[in-house]
A and B are shown apart, each in its own frame.
Chain A
Amino acid sequence: MTAVDHHRHPGINLGHTDPDTHEQAEETLFGFWIFLMSDLVLFALLFATYASMMGSTDGGPGPRDVLELSSSALETGVLLFSSLTMGMASLAMKYKEPPARLQMWLVATLILGLVFLWLGGSEFVKMASEGASAQRSGWTSALHALLGTHWLHVAAGCVWLILSILQVAIFGPQSPVKLRLMRLALFWHLLDIVWIFIFSVVYLGGLA
């Protein structure tokens, strides 16, 4: 067998470390990949709306008034680091390291996800207090729709992480649990890709 045969779907491939689950993974993960692509289309249209609404501030606050480089850099760092811990969790799962090791990486990812939610949440509160709530102008509406949708996705990812941690604790790393973890990893990594566009377009584009 060559490396080509091992690789059947996006994300980590179990390959010879768990051939039975690897066999099932191809269909399951391809289906989930189709969902993720449709999710990307959703985000793309929110970006299109945002681009159309740039400058539509109705005399209210604009990007330079409400967006901050330092807080977005912190959010970016937290998400990027959580992608690494999720990757480490995937490796711990694939190479059958002790479940405690897998749990440790999943908990680390969860903590980073919660820190991101807290940072994003306080940003929304701060914007509201500065008169840049969602209903202020076309631009603030588009901004809240885009950031809010990403925030909700991360929140859903955190719920999924909590459920995964419980499932690993109760059932151990069985085949169905592994398949869910592999989909969770795809979801998490794709959210980070969406965030690349958010910090590039919204924060850096707005502040450059």
Chain B
Amino acid sequence: MSAEHTAREKRRELRSYLVGFVLAVILTAVAFLVVAAGLPTMTAYGVIAVTALVQVVVHFRFFLHITLKRSTRDDLQLILFTTLIIGLMAGGTIWILDNLHHRMM
């Protein structure tokens, strides 16, 4: 590999971290500002949920370098499987305990 190629790859990877950092800062700032500004609760919840999910994708993409097309190993499948497990266990817990809570009223 030529030194020029390496230098280009280094610039590309440096830019990737910086872009990810800037995006993460913006998304975090938006979520905090919405709460600081005292928007209606439901609107705030919506904005927080969207910015949080986008920020998770940003972190995976720019800091952990996981993309749809470049994941040749099973990393992404493992993330999706973990998401399924989390959905079942966390979702199930919240569902059952909320149901129980209502019956105890």
- Seen from chain A, the residues whose Cβ lies within 8 Å of a Cβ on chain B are 3-4, 7-13, 15-17, 26, 30, 33-34, 37, 40-41, 44-45, 47-49, 51-52, 69, 73, 76-77, 80, 83-84, 87-88, 91, 94-95, 186, 189-190, 192-193, 196-197, 199-200, 204-205, 207-208
Task: With both chains docked as a complex, state the minimum distance between the C-beta of A202 and any C-beta of chain B, in angstroms.
Answer: 11
A167–B102 CA distance with the chains assembled, in angstroms: 55
Known: A10-B75, A30-B74, A77-B28. 11 other contacts (CB 8 A): A7-B71, A10-B64, A13-B65, A41-B85, A41-B89, A48-B90, A48-B91, A189-B64, A196-B55, A204-B32, A208-B48
Nearest A residue to B97, CB-CB:
A52
Interface of A is mostly: helix
Nearest B residue to A40, CB-CB:
B82
18 contacts between A and B (CB under 8 A): A10-B64, A11-B65, A12-B65, A30-B73, A30-B75, A41-B82, A44-B90, A52-B97, A52-B98, A69-B35, A80-B21, A83-B21, A91-B10, A196-B59, A200-B51, A205-B48, A208-B41, A208-B44
Is the pair B24, A80 in contact by a Cβ cutoff of 8 Å?
yes
A16–B59 CA distance with the chains assembled, in angstroms: 25
Determine which of B36, B49, B86 lies in contact with A200 in the assembled complex, contact meaning CB atoms within 8 Å: B49
Q: Does B1 contact A (CB under 8 A)?
A: yes
Classify chain B's interface size: 35 or more
Is the pair A8, B73 in contact by a Cβ cutoff of 8 Å?
yes
A193–B82 CA distance with the chains assembled, in angstroms: 14
Is the pair A16, B48 in contact by a Cβ cutoff of 8 Å?
no
Nearest B residue to A55, CB-CB:
B101
Which residues on A sit within 8 Å (CB–CB) of B31? 199-200, 204
Task: With both chains docked as a complex, state the minimum distance between the C-beta of B105 and any C-beta of chain A, in angstroms.
Answer: 12
